[in-house]
Amino acid sequence: MLRPFVQVDVFTATPMLGNPLAVVLDANGLDEDTMQRFARWTNLSETTFVLRADAPGASYRVRIYTPMEELPFAGHPSVGTAWALLDAGLVRPQGRRLVQQCGAGLLEVEVDGDGPQRLVSVQAPVPRRSALAPEVIEALPRAIGLVGASVGERPILSDVGARWMLMELGSRAQVRASVPDLELITRLSRATAATGLAVFSFEPAQAVPLELRAFGPASGVPEDPVTGSAQAAVGEWLAAQGRLAALGGRYDASQGHAVGRAGEVRVASPGPGRVQIGGRCCALIRGAVNLAESGT
């Protein structure tokens, strides 16, 4: 059965500078095994499948898969799927608002503008922060090839549907100089049931204050080009520390330079425990994919 399909570049308005996302725009009737196998076949960090909403108030329902597992929430798939549905004319916002149904529940989506300048932002689930074991914290600098480089707050684990170990570094240069030990990051991720490790720097005086890299080898993604869930986790953590007040609770973030991309993420914290991530997108591939319904 041919199903409408689009491949979107997320967190960029310039093709091939963001994070690609495969979107099956009509996945009704597909079983979980088919979804997982197709996500493994695309070999992108995430592939999404759009279904009819079955929760009151939802505009659509989406399931999100990495090559190895389903996620209840992820940022770039949420932004990119909403953008793809708007671009295809399959949903219409009420005012500037959509509601996404996903494994993490019902999440508000805001839409600003239209066409190439359309900016889509999603409300991330409320992050749940927890402590990391001392032996994990001790191993993190080795995991990124920068022994002694951790600064700022003690590294933590933050769960926004995807679970990220968060580690702050002193500068953008340190973030970009990180050399990940993917085998060690895999072991640490499995020990903490984490999606992976996100390292970042926050320099409020810079035009783009935040630089981030995200490593998820245990989930089949050695380095994610641009990672909405990790950006959301970091944004909420910074807000909880009171470090966003001087920026009005919002900032721009950069990610992807280490893998030849230039992702741009808008991050905002409108209140305690709340964080929105957003960006522009563009479509690179449009067509159809042959995926049969379950039992056919």
- Output the CA–CA distances (angstroms, integers) from residue 247 to 124, 243, 269, in the order listed: 20, 8, 10
Strand spans (E) along 176-262: 196-202, 210-216, 221-224, 250-255
- Long-range CB pairs of 213-217, under 8 A, 24+ apart, other chains included: 213/175, 213/176, 213/178, 213/255, 213/258, 214/164, 214/255, 215/144, 215/180, 215/182, 215/185, 216/45, 216/66, 216/189, 217/182, 217/183, 217/185, 217/186, 217/189
C-beta of residue 79 within 8 angstroms of C-beta of residue 18: no
- Distance from C-alpha of 103 to C-alpha of 245, rounded to nearest angstrom: 31
Spatial contact of 110 and 143, defined as CB atoms under 8 Å apart:
no
Place of tokens 């702050």: 168
Q: At what angle do helices 182-192 and 134-143 cross, to 10 degrees?
A: 160
CB count within 10 Å of CB 236 equals: 25
The three-class DSSP label of residue 185 is: helix
**Helix 228-240 × helix 75-87 angle, to 10°:** 120
Q: Which residues are catalytic?
A: 46
